[in-house]
Amino acid sequence: MKLFDGGKAPNPRRVRVFLAEKGMEVPIVPVDMAAMGHRSEEIAARNPFRRLPVLELDDGTVIAESVAICRYFEELHPEPALFGRDAFGRATVEMWQRRLELGLLFQVAAAFRHTHPAMKDWEVPQIAEWGEANRPKAIEFLGILDDHLADTEFVAGDAMSIADITGMIAIDFMKPARIALPDGCRNVQRWHAMLKARPSATA
């Protein structure tokens, strides 16, 4: 098994943080996304969508998509459970994983990719108006998230899950996307600081 990694980008990082929370180590093949390594034939032969990360198993079969790779690791090493424990728990993790990805990470990514000068060769066409439109969507999401986190230590119940990992990465990604966490979001601040203090945050 080997993991074609993509460095600092949110999806490669999500898998590395997940592995760190599991206490797992997987051989890493670094790929330089800044040099467009994800568009190489080496990656295209494994993932026709030319995205990272990609996990190659020992028999040569491939699993792409960060959350699919994490789910495979969860199956191999169920503890600690990061996709929930029982039926309701697993549904709740899926719900918050999706909310944080589709309602926050994607908005932050759109703001970054459509407004940052360094992204103009990555996001074609780069549409500044669309990037700007995503900033208030992200801020609105954070307000609802803050209300939710008033009552819970982790976002999907009383244990760490992949939804927290996605959330931490989304909030970290707000810095290059130039979106500031509103001062009133005290619960989000507490939650994010708690996640950043875990050893996995530096993975």
Q: Which residues pair with 2 in a beta bridge?
A: 56
Decide if residue 155 touches a second copy (CB under 8 A).
no
With CB under 8 A as the rule, give the number of residues binding a second copy: 33
- Using CB atoms within 10 Å of the CB of residue 5, give its burial: 0 to 12 exposed, 13 to 18 middle, 19+ buried: buried
Decide if residue 144 touches a second copy (CB under 8 A).
yes
Shortest Å distance, C-beta 199 to a second copy: 26
Decide if residue 133 touches a second copy (CB under 8 A).
yes
Q: Which residues pair with 54 in a beta bridge?
A: 4, 64
- Nearest in space to 174 (alpha carbons), one of 98, 109, 103: 109
Find all residues with CB under 8 Å of 55, minimum gap 6, and list them. Answer: 1, 2, 3, 4, 26, 62, 63, 64, 69, 72
Shortest Å distance, C-beta 196 to a second copy: 25
d(CA 168, CA 136): 19
112 Rama class: left (phi>0) / alpha (psi -120 to 50) / beta: alpha
Shortest Å distance, C-beta 34 to a second copy: 23
The smaller minimum CB distance to a second copy, of residues 61 and 202, is found at 61
Among 6, 10, 103, 167, binds a second copy (CB under 8 A): 103
Decide if residue 95 touches a second copy (CB under 8 A).
yes
Tokens linked to 54: 């990609």
Q: Which residues pair with 62 in a beta bridge?
A: 56
Rg from Cα positions in the chain = 17
Decide if residue 45 touches a second copy (CB under 8 A).
no
Three-state DSSP at 190 gives: helix
Among 1, 34, 45, 91, binds a second copy (CB under 8 A): 91
Q: Is the dihedral of CA 148, 161, 101, 138 positive or negative?
A: positive
What binding mask, one character per residue, do residues 157-196 give for a second copy by CB under 8 A, x or -?
A: ----------------------------------------
What binding mask, one character per residue, do residues 48-77 give for a second copy by CB under 8 A, x or -?
A: xx-------x---x-xxx-xxx-xx--xx-
Residues at the site binding a second copy, with contacts judged by CB under 8 A:
48-49, 57, 61, 63-65, 67-69, 71-72, 75-76, 86-88, 90-92, 94-95, 98-99, 103, 125, 127, 129-130, 133, 144, 147-148
